[in-house]
Structure 1
Amino acid sequence: MAEVTLTGVSKSFGSDTALDNLTMTVPDGSFVVLLGPTGAGKTTTLRMVSGLDRPDSGRVFIGGLDVTALTPAQRNVAMVFQQYSLYPHLTVRENLEFPLKSPQLKTPQVQIDRKVNEVAGILQIGHKLNNRATELSGGEMQRVSIGRALVRNPAVFLMDEPLSSLDAKLRADLRIEIKNIQARAGATFLYVTHDQIEAMTMATHVGVLDHGRLVQFGTPREIYENPVSIYAASRLGQPRINLIPANLFPGAPENATEIGLRPEQIKQGEGESSLVQRVERLGDQTRLHLAFKDHKLITVTDAHTELKPGDIVPIRPQNPFYFDANGARIPPRTTT
């Protein structure tokens, strides 16, 4: 497997800037998830690494080799697209075999059969191997698409929202399987998703992109617990971080305009009064929807709470995040 490095990569499409001087390193054997809304530059980053597009400026390295001018075939990467990339006239087995029958690989048939059967079992499509791609459901087609990448041993796996079209149970199952595959193989994964759960549970590192710029790069926990900005803080966490004017609670830094409160940063039972507007029971936890000085807050409480709409709950911030007028994080005060 291989480390991937982008240095000063920029890419524009007409007047639209997709990537703006992007510098990022995907460590060897890591599972890096790119997060950001539509237009942030996530898919363009994948296309830079794969060779499907070339940067206007900057360089791309895989395993220390400058691959900027190389074709996709020369880069030894495997890409899974959001849309199904199958040959409709071929069976599932033939679709899975296809990458291994490349003249460049010259894989013996015995190895092809073993690898195809192994991947089909992991993806729960062994019983569909003799079906044509046109006879599959959408979820099955996406599993075959993922399988076409897994049967190979590329330097880097590139995945562009591969689970977005699957049902909830299958997404959960494949989330675990893909992470297990990556961990067992020590493979390098660069993965795009809008799903915060996928990012939190699968990633070793998260890259937060905004209009083609890398805003923050770190472990999911680092970004969740120590975001550099409102934008970064809003990318992870369910329910989303609460943002309210900083002056609603005492003790805010002088240049703070907003205070960010994740559910666990709202201390209940002491402080200033808030009104319970809704109680949302989710089984393992209960969310409280609160009204506080004309602002809405969401926090979590005991799954078996007896609170109900109309109740009053005292609250106060506990280790909150403060942000300035530009949305940048104000470092917490240090004590000596």
Structure 2
Amino acid sequence: MAEVVLQNVTKRFSDHVALDDVSMTVPDGSFVVLLGPTGAGKTTTLRMISGLDQPDGGEIFIGGMPMRGLTPAQRNVAMVFQQYSLYPHLTVRENLEFPLKSPLLSTPRAEIDRKVKAIAEVLQIAHKLENKATALSGGEMQRVSIGRALVRSPQIYLMDEPLSSLDAKLRADLRIELKSIQAGSGATLLYVTHDQIEAMTMATHVGVLQQGRLVQFGSPREVYENPVSIYAAARLGLPRINILPADIFAGAPPRARNIGLRPEHIRQGSGEESLVTRVEHLGDQTRLHLSFRNHQIVTVTDAHTALRSGDIVKIEPNKPLYFDAEGMRLA
């Protein structure tokens, strides 16, 4: 495996700047998740590293070697696309074997069989090995696509929302399996997702992209607890962070325009009165939807709370985050 370094990488498509002077280091053996809305530059970053697209400026290094001018095959990367990329006329087994039969790898037959069997069991498709790819469900096709990358031992795995088409249970199972495979093998993995749970549970590092710029890079806990901006704060956390006018509570510092409160950082039982507008019982916790001075707030409370819509509850901020007029974090 290898460290991946982007130095001042820029990519333009006509007048649109897809990546704007991005510098980032993906440490060797790390699981890095890129977060951001559609158009932020996540997939473009993967395509730059894989060699499918070339940067207009800056340099990319994999394992200390410059990648400029090298084809995807020469870079020894494995990429999983959001859309299935299977050979429809081949069986599942043949699709999984295909990258191992490359003349560049020259994998022995016994090793091919061992790897295919192991990955098929992990991805719960061992019973489908002799099926044609066209006979699979959408979720099964995506699992084969993931498996075709996992059977290799590339310098880096690049995954573009690989679990988005799977049902909730399989998605949760594969989150665990992917993280286990990555941690056990020491693989370097760069992963794009919109799923905040995937980012929090799988990543060693999170990169937050905004309109082609990398605005924050750090551990999931660091980005969650110490976001550099309202934009970064909104990328992680479910329910989303509450953003309110800074003067809605007393004690705001100078230059503060907004206060950010994570749902778990709203203390109940003291402070100022708010109206309960909705109660969501989720089993392990309960979400309270509150109306406070004409602003809507979501917080969490005891799973067995007796509160109901129409009740009054007192609240006050705990561990608030403050942001200036441009949405940047104030110390």
User: Fold match, TM over 0.5?
Assistant: yes
2:300 aligned counterpart, secondary structure: strand
Counterparts of 1:77-96 in structure 2 under 5 Å? 77-96=77-96
Partner of 1:218: 218
Residue number in structure 1 paired with 2:153: 153
Q: 1-side partners of 2:154 and 2:296: how far apart?
A: 48
In structure 2, C-alpha distance between the alignment counterparts of 1:140 and 1:311, rounded to whole Å: 48
Q: Give the whole-Å Cα distance in 1 for the aligned partners of 2:75 and 2:281.
A: 49
* % identical equivalent positions: 75
* Distance apart, 1:201 and its partner CA: 0.3
Deviations for 1:169-220, whole angstroms, at most 9, x for unmatched residues?
A: 0000001000000000000000000000000000000000001100000000
The 5-angstrom pairing of residues 28-43 of structure 1 reads 28-43=28-43
Q: CA deviation at 1:167?
A: 0.3
| Per-residue deviation, 1:232 | 0.3
Q: Match of 1:59?
A: 59
Q: What is the alpha-carbon distance in structure 1 between the residues aligned to residue 315 and residue 157 of structure 2?
A: 46
Q: Secondary structure at the match of 1:304?
A: coil
Report matched runs for 1:155-304 at 5 Å: 155-304=155-304
Work out the CA distance in 1 between the residues paired with 2:147 and 2:229.
38
How many Å separate the matches in 2 of 1:301 and 1:276? Answer: 12
CA deviation string 1:112-161 (max 9, x = no partner): 00110010010000000000000000000000000000000000000000
- Give the superposition deviation at 1:298: 0.2
TM-score by length of 2: 1.00
In structure 1, distance between residues paired with 2:187 and 2:21: 27
**Alpha-carbon distance, 1:254 to partner:** 1.5
Give the secondary structure class of the aligned counterpart of 1:146: helix
Counterparts of 1:329 and 1:77, CA distance in 2: 37
Q: CA deviation at 1:107?
A: 0.7
Partner AA of 1:228 in structure 2: V
Aligned partner letter, 2:297: L
**1-side partners of 2:119 and 2:216: how far apart?**
34
Equivalent residue number for residue 317 of structure 2: 317
Alignment partners' CA distance in 1, 2:283 and 2:159: 32
1:265 offset after TM fit, Å? 1.2
SS at match of 1:271: strand
Structure 2 regions of 5+ residues with no counterpart? none
- 1:123 corresponds to 2:113: no
* Paired amino acid for 1:7: Q
CA distance in 1, matches of 2:132, 2:60: 38
Specify the code of the residue in structure 1 equivalent to 2:233: A
Q: Tell me the secondary structure at the aligned position of residue 145 of structure 1.
A: helix
Partner of 1:21: 21
Deviation at 1:69, TM superposition (A): 1.6
Q: Secondary structure at the match of 2:181?
A: helix
Shift of 1:17: 0.5
Aligned residue identity for 1:135: A
Q: Distance in 2 between matches of 1:295 and 1:218?
A: 31
Q: Distance in 2 between matches of 1:264 and 1:142?
A: 36
Match of 1:334 in 2: none
CA distance in 1, matches of 2:169, 2:140: 13
The aligned counterpart of 1:48 is 48
Q: Distance in 2 between matches of 1:275 and 1:87?
A: 57
Q: Secondary structure, in 3 states, of the residue corresponding to 2:86? A: coil
CA distance in 2, matches of 1:246, 1:316: 13
What code does the residue aligned with 2:9 have?
V
Name the aligned partner's letter for residue 36 of structure 1.
G
Q: Quote the Cα distance in structure 1 between the aligned partners of 2:85 and 2:272.
A: 56
Task: Look up the equivalent residue of 1:309 and give its one-letter code.
Answer: S
Whole-Å separation in 2 of the counterparts to 1:294 and 1:237: 23
How far apart are the structure 2 equivalents of 1:105 and 1:221?
A: 39
For the residue of structure 1 that corresponds to 2:177, the secondary structure is helix
Shift of 1:319: 1.5
Aligned-residue CA RMSD in angstroms? 0.4
The code of the aligned residue for 1:136 comes to L
